Structure 1
Amino acid sequence: MTIDQLWTASALILAPFFGSFIGLLTLRLPADRPWAMSRSTCDTCKRQLGVIDLVPLVSFLALRGRCRTCGAAIPWRYLLLEGGCLLIALWSALAFSGATVLVTAVFGWMLLLIATVDAEHLWLPDRLTLPFGALGVIATLAIGEVPIWTPLVGAAAGYGGLALIAWLYRKVRGFDGMGGGDPRLLGAIGAWVGWQGLPSVLIWACVAGLSVAIAQALVRRRLAAGQQLPFGTFLAVGAWLTWLWGPLHALWG
């Protein structure tokens, strides 16, 4: 096995386990339940789960989506998130080679975690966005021959630009137009894609948001006045597409 193949295999093997961890975090973080250094248990019968219960993808299918003790249904989110992380790893392997495959997979997995939490709770906690940004600085410097200030400028531009837009909106309209976590998320994304990629992230995010709004209108589920959309989820989509394909101006050029 070559080094490049080893990086790809690592991403594919780790993917379902990271997906299982995402499933745990997306349930426990919003509920303010402990997630570090705590054993997984069945939410119904409270039995501590063993190895046979915790093998990603395989356990769910083998147990037919039921707890083997009490028969309670295992949330489908685990299977979907584990499968989603595996798809992200496969996409990463098709798009890149070498260590960049694993770096891209980790980038996608963290975006999936952040997007899921925001979509379900309209919440972008600093405990997710700040480590994501710090990892972006490390990853950018590790895999790219760029000056040390490049990811820092990207982070500052992402946070400052969106924070300024939010401030102007509040001044003009008299109320907040976006959550406080959105600028910090875009700052973290800027550490990964650089300041050059930020306009593309915002364009893709707007396209994704408009697509959701149009889809809701088509099924006669128009947005109610004051209803919020998870902009962080759309930013995650924009970040993923920008990382894969680069800034839009480069594609059009």
Structure 2
Amino acid sequence: MLEPAFSALPAGVPLVGSAILGAIVGSFLGAALERLPNGRSIVTGRSTCDGCGKALTIPELLPVLSWLMQRGKCRACGSSIGGGQLACELGGVAVGIGSLLLSREGLVLPAMVLGWQLLLLALLDLRHLWLPRLLVGWLAVSGLIVASAKARVTDDASVLGISIAGGALGFLLLWLIARFYLKARGREGMGSGDPPLLGAIGLWIGPLGVVETMLGASIIGIAAAIVMLVSKRKIDADTALPLGTCLAATAWPIFLLQGLG
């Protein structure tokens, strides 16, 4: 639903504004998706083509539009820009618009912050099976900040307690499953970043949200496995599925529906 502060603006202005903001943030996330796995800084250095190293001009940095106008290729060398950049920019737009239209009153900005963080983590896990601890840590810290702010505004300390309980449940739930699997099978069956990720998510959506996220992620994982089987891709005990991507894809809609805790 639209915030009361936005209702006084001309029709369409908040929607366009959230889309533009989402595209800009998505462009930054796209750069992070490419740079982080290579150990490159995401805050310093000019944007360049990964193929030829040419510095990108302002028209070449326009989110979504530049990718479409250049047909996903560098103007200088013709190398592919890759769909990851476009996915981040379109995903950023979707998060911006979705947060504006679907989040609970007073939670538009938190919904955006959560959605953009989960978008990057989901794509990193999908592409590299990697959940950077620093990014997961920021997700946890921002969740605590939002919960603390709401507790102060509403003068209800239980909000912060529910947030912490959700974080603890999220981490322990996956950590115990991972330990049980290791003891039963004698090998790792889960990425080390998955328990901290669900713990960080729990700080945003509380214990009930953690349970709902686990159920939703399981359904997505089963659906992905079915698709792989139908497409005749080999699935065995060593097949890796990006659990973090499934968790992220489930957690954001849950936050939109129920808010904090």
**TM-score (structure 2 length as normaliser):** 0.86
**Alpha-carbon deviations, 1:106-165, whole Å to 9, x = none?**
211111100110111111110111101111111233346442333222212211222122
1:205 counterpart residue number: 217
Q: Distance in 1 between matches of 2:249 and 2:222?
A: 13
Q: Distance in 1 between matches of 2:203 and 2:18?
A: 22
SS in 2 for 1:56: coil
In the alignment, structure 1 segments of 5+ residues that lack a partner are 248-253
Give 1:37 deviation, angstroms: 1.3
Deviates further, 179-188 or 30-39: 30-39
Alignment check: 8 A CA contact 1:157 1:195 kept: yes
RMSD of equivalent CA atoms: 2.2
Query: What are the within-5 Å matches in structure 2 for residues 85-234 of structure 1?
Result: 85-96=92-103, 99-143=106-150, 145=154, 146-147=156-157, 148-234=160-246
Deviates further, 80-89 or 6-15: 6-15
1:239 to 237, 246, 251: 251
- Which of the pair has the greater relative contact order for Cα pairs under 8 Å at 6+ separation? 2
Letter in 1 for 2:20: I
Alignment check: 8 A CA contact 1:15 1:86 kept: yes
**Alpha-carbon deviations, 1:12-33, whole Å to 9, x = none?**
2210111111111111111212
1:26 to 2:33 alignment: yes
Alignment check: 8 A CA contact 2:103 2:257 kept: no
1:50 to 2:57 alignment: yes
Give 1:241 deviation, angstroms: 2.7
Q: Give the aligned length.
A: 247
Alignment check: 8 A CA contact 2:33 2:84 kept: no
In the alignment, structure 2 segments of 5+ residues that lack a partner are none
SS in 2 for 1:185: helix
1:81 counterpart residue number: 88
Give 1:99 deviation, angstroms: 4.3
Deviates further, 53-62 or 94-103: 94-103
**Alpha-carbon deviations, 1:89-111, whole Å to 9, x = none?**
22222213654222212211111
Q: Distance in 1 between matches of 2:234 and 2:53?
A: 41
Alignment check: 8 A CA contact 1:92 1:101 kept: yes
Letter in 2 for 1:179: G
Q: Distance in 2 between matches of 1:65 and 1:228?
A: 29
**TM-score (structure 1 length as normaliser):** 0.88
Alignment check: 8 A CA contact 1:158 1:190 kept: yes
Q: Distance in 2 between matches of 1:172 and 1:95?
A: 43
Letter in 2 for 1:23: G
Q: Distance in 2 between matches of 1:98 and 1:125?
A: 31
Give 1:77 deviation, angstroms: 2.0
1:40 to 2:47 alignment: yes
2:79 counterpart residue number: 72
Deviates further, 201-210 or 158-167: 158-167
Deviates further, 4-13 or 28-37: 4-13
Q: Distance in 1 between matches of 2:172 and 2:190?
A: 14
